[in-house]
Structures are given as C-alpha cells and as structure tokens.
Amino acid sequence: MEKHKPHYRLGDIQMIVARDGLLAFTATALFNRLVMGLSDTGLLNAIAGMKPAMFQKSMTTYRNHTIWQDVYHVPLPDGRVAYVKLTLQDGAVVIQFKNQED
C-alpha cells in the first residue's frame, strides 16, 4: 500500500536521530553510509538537513501492512542523492540510507 503524504512527522524523526545519534540507524543503513563514503557527521547532517519537500512516498512493509515507512530523496553535498527510508517502529528509525541510484 502507498500514499503520497508522510505518515510520520519529519521533525519527530529528526529529534530522535539528534538524541540517539548512530543508534537510530539500522546496521544496513550504517553499512551503506560507509559504501557512500560518508562520515558519521555527514550521515547525521543529512538527516538533520532533511526538508518536507524531499518526501517521495509513504508505503507499508511487505510483511506487515500496518507498518508504514516514509521515503525521502535527500541531496548530499557532493551532488549525489540519498534514498532514505524512515519509520517510528521499535528500534532504529532510519532503516535505509543508500545512494538513490543503487
């Protein structure tokens, strides 16, 4: 299921990431950040700098249609665009962070 309005408030996500730092990211998101050559600070700054206009879509997970994930395309300082998937379920809130073209 998809919709074109964010399911979560971006400010709430950003507050959690600011509070929890790298603990707010899944292992996959942290690994992909390394593949992209981003530092810890670069990763955290990318989330802090996200704007509502970067929102792309909201979708449910394949396994559970009650869990929503918001997708953003986030421009990085080097010109690349990161595909960022967020959720407010238990655990990490940034569940995907990768080069949009991958």
Q: What's the CATH number for 2-99? A: 3.30.2310.40
Instruction: Using DSSP bridges, classify how beta strands 2-3 and 81-86 pair: parallel, antiparallel or unpaired.
Output: unpaired
Q: Provide the 3-class DSSP secondary structure of residue 67.
A: coil
The structural domains of the chain, with segments of one domain joined by +, span: 2-99
Written as one string, the DSSP assignment of 1-54 is -EESS-SS-HHHHHHHHHHHGGGGB-HHHHHHHHHTT--HHHHHHHHHT--GGG
Instruction: Give the span between the Cα atoms of 48 and 102, in whole angstroms.
Output: 23
Indicate if the pLDDT at residue 79 is higher than 80. yes
40-69 pLDDT tens trace: 999 999 999 999 999 999 999 888 899 999
- What is the overall mean pLDDT for the chain? 93
**How many residues comprise the chain?**
102
Whole-prediction pTM value? 0.91
Indicate if the pLDDT at residue 27 is higher than 80. yes
